[in-house]
Amino acid sequence: MSDSKYFSTTKKGEIHEYKEDLRAVDRSKRKDSVKKVIAAMTVGKDVSMLFPDVVNCMQTDDLELKKLVYLYLINYAKTQPDLAIMGVNTFVKDSQDPNPLIRALAVRTMGCIRVDKITEYLCDPLQRCLKDDDPYVRKTAAVCVAKLFDINPELVEDRGFLDTLKDLLADSNPMVVANAVAALAEIHETSGRDVFQITSQSLFKLLRALNECTEWGQVFILDSLATYTAKDAKDAEAIIERVTPRLQHANCAVVLSAVKVILKQMELVDDDVLKKTLHKKMAPPLVTLLSAEPEIQYVALRNIHLVVSKFPQILVHEVKVFFCKYNDPIYVKMEKLEIMIQLASDKNIDQVLLEFKEYATEVDVDFVRKAVRAIGRCAVSLERAAERCINVLLELIQTKLNYVVQEAIIVIKDIFRRYPNRYESIIATLCENLESLDEPEAKASMIWIIGEYAERIENADELLETFLESFPEETSLVQLQLVTATVKLFLKKPTERPQQMIQLVLTYATQETDNPDLRDRAFVYWRLLSTDPEAAKEVVLAEKPVIADVGSGMEPQLLATLLQNLSSLASVYHKPPETFVSRTRLAVQRAEDLPNPEDHFGDESGTAISSADAAIADSAAAAGAPAAAASTTALSPQPDLLGDLLDLGGGDTSNGNVHQGSHDLASSLGGLSMGGTGGSNASQQYNSPQAQPAADDFFGFGGGSGSSARTPPAPQAPPLPVILPADKGKGLTVSGRVTRQNGQIVYKIALANGTQAPMDGFMVQFNKNAFGLSPANQNIPVGSVAPGQTATADLVLNQAAGMLNAAAGTTPTLQVAIRNNQQGVLYMSDSVPASALFTEGGNMDPSTFPPTWKGLPDASEASQHLQGVTPGNIEAIKPRLVAKNVFLMAARGSPSGAIWRPTARAQGVSELKLPHDANFEGLIGLRPQ
């Protein structure tokens, strides 16, 4: 009896029974129970609670039972990593088993278990298996290197696995070579680094292995050869000669990969005779692909479409192969039609037109429309065949089928544009079918014809009037065409009736429509006609450029990209791979897979938009957090609002205590002292009066006694304020400050590891904020931080409109999320000092400052009192101002003392005004634009 019986059980509560059977002494009973567990796992039942019992079955000589247990381990090891360690000894032991199948099975399984603890034990067995005597073990180990690289790239490089993998390219067994190529190509693609480069020596080895390995091994080798650029024509001819026999292979993937290599190398071939010979050799294999099932036919046709778009001469004599059969699915017929248009020429156009005419009588309306348009495209691209195509279209119009007539009128309009003043004799026939037009595109085409040839149509005004009756109800496409056609009619026949029509149309289009395009066009025509009718004629009746086949091809650059990806999904979609494939890792997250900074936080209204796992998986997260409120009250912790912001899903978010700083503008201005303070815990770093500027000491002048003779101490960078203490960060202390450095906004950050284990994989992200700040690179370049160590980094910040939270006003709060591989995501809050935003170009003409300041709304001004600044030390203070990119505009006396008027510029902050009174108590004000 087959194993299907294990899937047909409807028994409930069998877990206990499975557990008893897994502990049985009888080997057959244990195997039977493991099969039942695998069957339950396959249909979606949770059997993870049996993990210890299934692992105990690993110690067996039965290869079938061992495979089943390994399959179970691969599935559940990620959820039970601690228990998975129980099987490590067995893995290591099996990797040295006399049976090569068991050795390969062990190393393959260890590579599939994506658990860091298992990975540590994989290196030594993998090192042995890469140099194993048996080729089956070596080829399995080669693939395992690619899996290990996806989990831990640094480990692969440190242990020299990449060099060993490159050595396998010279292996005596062709399958080992093929798997080494596949692994290196995968690593090359995922890492984005040039780890696999074919040289002249390795090229010969790959070509030698090509004839002996399996079909999928050939595909791997051919795909790698397609990336190789030959040195010269002789080298390219040698490669083509070795690859050409693969065109006769029975596997479609091998054939298409061989075609891809030949087309790549043909670019360097100068011999025209050789090129023609290769074209003839490639035709039969491509034609043979169409003898397969419809689904394979479609894939083959999509690839052939790309080939003939650039090299139509390859299949120009095989156009009959693409004639549609009565039982072809519609998707196959549509693709064949497209290829027939590409292959149509003056020699075969009669056969092709007969086919198209036959297709136009089919039952499927979409197929008929496509066939009629195909006739029009042939007329546009083949000048000699244009008249024959028009005759066929006129015959189809006589059928009086509504959809056929409308499609014919659409393509005839294109023919008129391609061949002006040549086939206008058929216009009378077209005008007989006005009543059958009900589709916008067909109506627009007919209206264009009437307007363009109004002088040749006696009753053109009557014909246009039939369309004008329903002008308000028509689509914008028809309305736009009607406006233009009416203007053309008036300019060609300036009689009373056209004049009434144009007044009616332009009045409606300018006064009663909501369509801005229609309204703008009508105004342009109206003004042209009212100011200079002759100029209107030159504009509206100007000679139009001749069109080409508008539906024939794609951009040359896109076509070249798709030809490089022949025989892949990109060649079926006709889209570059990067548009529909995102590279992701299951164990190691890349920076580019993090959410888009424009999307991942909250919306501008401050509404929390959570959802993290799906957002990060799609690389277009919409997870959010509340916008910071402009008040001095600290926000309460919000551990769940940001969701799993930078994690991979399943991470611990219990550490999401948001360590919140001050929110009011006044504290932001106070932070203009030498770089500003951080969050609310900033005071922990300023324990002495010498280290901590006064809260009101705007530029770090001191204060205290107010003496003007006081010399400021030598500038020292104050320690970074703590924005996340160790108790909130589960042992990790985070300190940071936003500052300005070398003309850039920089976030200085320090990470102190107070745990007992190293930390790595640090990444950072900001919420939307009042100044649109976001990290230029989300990776924090600190590497691994050992226990007890502190790592620092300077992160350059960008300002982007997508990160701007308009609802925050001038709130300086900056919500920060930091992630590492060990702890997941930690949330905290910092503040942005205004001094970091002031740019070096803030100086301005003193005469323009007063009106600029007065031009800003008074209601938006925020202020803060400053203590201890002496009005008499202007010259001493100027350097301190300039150091902060604040420039003194003027100083004058007043009854109350001295008034200083400095200025500064920043994104999000317009001008800065700083008056001081006689009591040395200043008032600083900001007015945002």
C-alpha to C-alpha distance for 691 and 719, rounded to whole angstroms: 8
Q: Report the pLDDT averaged over residues 539-559.
A: 79
Per DSSP, 448 falls in state H
Q: Report the pLDDT averaged over residues 494-520.
A: 89
pLDDT in tens, 403-414: 999 999 999 999
What mean pLDDT, rounded, does the chain reach?
77
Q: Report the pLDDT averaged over residues 814-827.
A: 87
219: tokens are 């595909």
Instruction: Decide which of 904 and 684 is more confident.
Output: 904
| Residue whose pair of structure tokens reads 């990060």 in the numeric block | 616
pTM: 0.60
Q: Report the pLDDT averaged over residues 888-915.
A: 47
Q: Which residues contact 816 (CB under 8 A, 6 or more apart)?
A: 723, 736, 764, 765, 766, 767, 827, 828, 829, 830
Q: Is 80 exceeded by the pLDDT of residue 202?
A: yes
How many other CB atoms sit within 10 Å of the CB of residue 689?
Answer: 9
The pLDDT score that the predictor gives to residue 544 is 83
C-alpha to C-alpha distance for 213 and 178, rounded to whole angstroms: 7
Q: Is 50 exceeded by the pLDDT of residue 663?
A: no
Q: Report the pLDDT averaged over residues 682-707.
A: 36
Closest CA to 80 of 135, 120, 118: 118
Q: Report the pLDDT averaged over residues 335-352.
A: 93
Instruction: Decide which of 867 and 629 is more confident.
Output: 867
Instruction: Decide which of 862 and 596 is more confident.
Output: 862
C-alpha to C-alpha distance for 553 and 551, rounded to whole angstroms: 6
3-class secondary-structure state, position 820 = strand
Name the pLDDT band for 716 (thresholds 50, 70, 90).
Answer: low
Q: Is 60 exceeded by the pLDDT of residue 89?
A: yes
554: tokens are 């794609």
Lowest mean pLDDT, pick from 45-54, 171-180, 736-745, 789-798: 45-54
Name the pLDDT band for 573 (thresholds 50, 70, 90).
Answer: very high
Measured in degrees and rounded to the nearest 5, phi and psi for residue 410 equal -65, -45
| Residue whose pair of structure tokens reads 């009616």 in the numeric block | 504
Q: Is 90 exceeded by the pLDDT of residue 304?
A: yes
Measured in degrees and rounded to the nearest 5, phi and psi for residue 693 equal -70, 150
The answer to whether 290 touches 321, Cβ cutoff 8 Å, is yes
CA within 13 Å, CB half, 218: 26
335: tokens are 């693709």
Instruction: Decide which of 878 and 334 is more confident.
Output: 334
The pLDDT score that the predictor gives to residue 928 is 46
| Residue whose pair of structure tokens reads 């905290």 in the numeric block | 828
C-alpha to C-alpha distance for 312 and 839, rounded to whole angstroms: 59
The pLDDT score that the predictor gives to residue 218 is 93
Q: Report the pLDDT averaged over residues 812-816.
A: 87
Instruction: Decide which of 296 and 83 is more confident.
Output: 296
The pLDDT score that the predictor gives to residue 348 is 92
Q: Which domains does the chain have, with CATH numbers?
A: 3-263 (1.25.10.10), 722-831 (2.60.40.1150)
Instruction: Decide which of 609 and 846 is more confident.
Output: 846
Lowest mean pLDDT, pick from 546-550, 670-674, 778-782: 670-674
**Amino acid residing at 581:** V
How many other CB atoms sit within 10 Å of the CB of residue 561?
Answer: 16
594: tokens are 């993090």
The answer to whether 409 touches 429, Cβ cutoff 8 Å, is no
160: tokens are 């020299």
Q: Report the pLDDT averaged over residues 280-284.
A: 92
pLDDT in tens, 153-162: 888 888 889 9
The pLDDT score that the predictor gives to residue 825 is 85
The pLDDT score that the predictor gives to residue 740 is 86
The answer to whether 429 touches 464, Cβ cutoff 8 Å, is no
pLDDT in tens, 786-796: 888 899 999 99
Q: Report the pLDDT averaged over residues 201-229.
A: 89
The pLDDT score that the predictor gives to residue 858 is 65
Closest CA to 258 of 280, 238, 282: 282
Lowest mean pLDDT, pick from 65-79, 518-532, 607-621: 607-621
CA within 13 Å, CB half, 448: 20
Q: What is the DSSP string of 53-117?
A: HHHGGGS-S-HHHHHHHHHHHHHHTTT-HHHHGGGHHHHHHHTT-SSHHHHHHHHHHHHH---HH
The pLDDT score that the predictor gives to residue 392 is 94
93: tokens are 């032991």
Per DSSP, 134 falls in state S
